[in-house]
């Protein structure tokens, strides 16, 4: 099977209101697409906010095609054994977690990312099932669903499953959404009064074409959908249209190669998929950070990090536990080489006073990394598919060097590695 989607036509129509994807829904589509490999997918996002796979979602849904190719590796059977019996897990699921440590390490961070602005109530709801008391039921494990368990509308709570033992019965499993509806309706009410992008009807933006693909055209992969989701996340309060070139095969080394971002409604164009996106700020009018001054030890002059950055990491713990896992999740296996370069640069250029000899690194000492997105405080710019962005382009390096030992400098990681190769 290939990535082509057969379709007799690629119709266009006058601009009509279409539901715009918020970053949480974008991430959920990418998550489904990463699990449902080697099969053409058509996600339907309706004006009511319902997300469906392969069937209409009310009037004038937004069509989002997807196709992710993966090497043929399949687990034929996975039987979870409990003292009350066993339960088969493979059908529809692709991971299971049964210790409190595993849930905290692997399930909660990923679920929070999918929930986006509704992370707080979503995590409280999930932990109410996992750690709370459910009368007459013992919860023994959580599962991750690679595909929707049932046809029809999907919600955030359909991405996870619950393995449980009802009183006097054998272990069984269901989705988190179905478990809450049956056993914990008290958790269906909002937990915190915060904006919930998954609940209200989505913002509407004009769209002048239908996204159903034509013969021989390629659909976005899960990795390309992820980078669109993160772009959408950074453009809080700003409308954007992602224009995807469906005439070219995917570039596995550069998930941005087929994606352009437009800040005005694009004209319909054959061979493209156009996805409108809008993510509402959680706190409109939040006081912006204008810049950050970083003063490395021994350098009297500070490095001024302007508003282009939105996060700074200056300890090994922050780099290992916060920065690198995010890059791995968004950019996938294609970025492992660059993540390794980031990690090696961090350790090879440790500041003086630590075990490493600064001279061995050519007198170059790294003090911090920073994240360089198009943040909510940076004026959005249009970017075309010719722009290659990766870990090396969205990571800034704060360092001192032999040319200016008393002044901290800032470069992108790509430029830093070019000027200071190991």
For residue 107, give the 3-state DSSP assignment. Answer: helix
Residue 356 pLDDT: 46
CB 107 within 8 A of CB 131: no
Q: Is beta strand 160-166 parallel, antiparallel or unpaired with respect to 172-175?
A: antiparallel
> What is the C-alpha separation between 342 and 25, in angstroms, rounded?
30
pLDDT at 351: 60
Q: Running along the chain, 422 residues long, what does each successive block of 10 average in pLDDT?
A: 41 72 89 84 82 64 83 76 89 90 92 86 93 93 86 82 90 93 84 43 81 86 87 84 88 78 86 90 79 78 78 90 85 77 83 49 81 58 60 85 78 88 76
In which residue are the tokens 């961070």 written?
A: 109
Strand order in the sheet with 272-277: 259-262, 240-245, 272-277
What integer pLDDT is reported at residue 285 of this predicted model? 78
For residue 354 the two structure tokens come to 């630590």
- Per the DSSP assignment, residues forming a β-bridge with 370 are 312, 396
Torsion, Cα 114 118 124 129, to 10 degrees, reads -50
Phi and psi at residue 273, to the nearest 5°: -115, 130
CB 210 within 8 A of CB 11: yes
Q: Kindly give, in sequence order, each residue whose CB lies less than 8 Å from that of residue 376, ignoring residues fewer than 6 positions away.
A: 234, 235, 236, 237, 281, 310
> Quick check: 244 and 64 in contact, CB under 8 A?
no
* DSSP assigned state of 199: S
Backbone angles phi, psi at 336, to 5 degrees: -60, -40
389-394 long-range contacts, Cβ below 8 Å, gap at least 24?
Answer: 389/227, 389/256, 390/254, 390/256, 390/331, 390/335, 390/338, 390/414, 391/327, 391/331, 391/335, 391/338, 391/339, 391/342, 392/338, 392/341, 392/342, 392/417
Write b or e for each residue in 320-344: b if 16 or more Cβ atoms lie within 10 A of its Cβ, otherwise e: eeebbeebeebbbeebeebbebbee
Report the distance separating Cα 39 and Cα 147, nearest Å. 11
CB of 233 within 8 A of CB of 372? Answer: no
DSSP conformation letters of 247-313:
TS---TT-TTTTEEEESSPPPP-TTEEEEEE-B--SSTTPPPP-EEEE--TT-SBPEEEETT--EEE
- Number of helices (H), then strands (E), in the chain: 11, 23
Length of the chain: 422
Q: For the CA atoms of the chain, what is the radius of gyration?
A: 23
């Amino acid at each position: 099977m290939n990535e082509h989607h057969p379709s007799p036509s690629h119709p266009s129509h006058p601009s009509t209101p279409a539901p715009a994807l918020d970053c949480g829904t974008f991430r959920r589509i990418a998550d489904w697409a990463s699990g449902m490999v080697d099969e053409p997918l058509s996600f339907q996002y309706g004006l009511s906010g319902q997300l469906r796979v392969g069937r209409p979602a009310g009037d004038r849904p937004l069509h989002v095609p997807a196709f992710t190719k993966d090497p043929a590796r399949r687990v034929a059977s996975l039987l979870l054994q409990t003292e009350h019996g066993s339960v088969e897990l493979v059908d529809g699921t692709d991971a299971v977690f049964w210790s409190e440590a595993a849930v905290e390490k692997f399930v909660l961070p990923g679920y929070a990312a999918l929930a986006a602005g509704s992370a707080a109530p979503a995590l409280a709801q999930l932990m109410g099932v996992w750690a709370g008391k459910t009368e007459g039921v013992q919860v023994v494990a959580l599962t991750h669903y690679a595909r929707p368990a049932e046809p029809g509308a999907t919600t955030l709570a359909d991405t996870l499953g619950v393995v449980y033992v009802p009183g006097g019965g054998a272990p069984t499993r269901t989705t988190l959404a179905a478990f809450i509806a049956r056993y914990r309706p008290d958790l269906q009410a909002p937990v915190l009064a915060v904006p919930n992008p998954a609940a209200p009807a989505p913002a509407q933006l004009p769209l002048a074409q239908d996204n159903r693909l034509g013969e021989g055209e390629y659909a976005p992969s899960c990795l390309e959908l992820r980078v669109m989701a993160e772009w959408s996340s950074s453009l809080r309060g700003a409308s954007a249209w992602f224009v995807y070139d469906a005439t070219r095969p995917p570039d596995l080394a550069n998930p941005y190669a087929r994606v352009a971002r437009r800040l005005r409604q694009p004209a319909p164009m054959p061979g493209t998929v156009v996805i409108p996106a809008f993510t509402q700020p959680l706190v409109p009018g939040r006081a912006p950070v204008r810049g950050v001054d970083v003063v490395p030890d021994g350098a009297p002059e500070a490095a001024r990090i302007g508003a282009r950055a939105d996060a700074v990491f200056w300890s090994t713990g922050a780099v290992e536990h916060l920065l690198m896992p995010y890059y791995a999740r968004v950019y996938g296996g294609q970025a492992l080489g660059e993540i390794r370069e980031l990690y090696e640069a961090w350790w090879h250029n440790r500041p003086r006073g630590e075990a490493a000899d600064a001279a061995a690194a050519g007198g170059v000492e790294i003090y911090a990394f920073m994240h360089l997105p198009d943040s909510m405080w940076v004026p959005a710019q249009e970017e075309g598919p010719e722009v290659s962005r990766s870990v090396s382009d969205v990571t800034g390096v704060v360092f001192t060097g032999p040319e200016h030992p008393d002044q901290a400098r800032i470069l992108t990681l790509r430029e830093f590695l070019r000027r200071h190769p190991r």
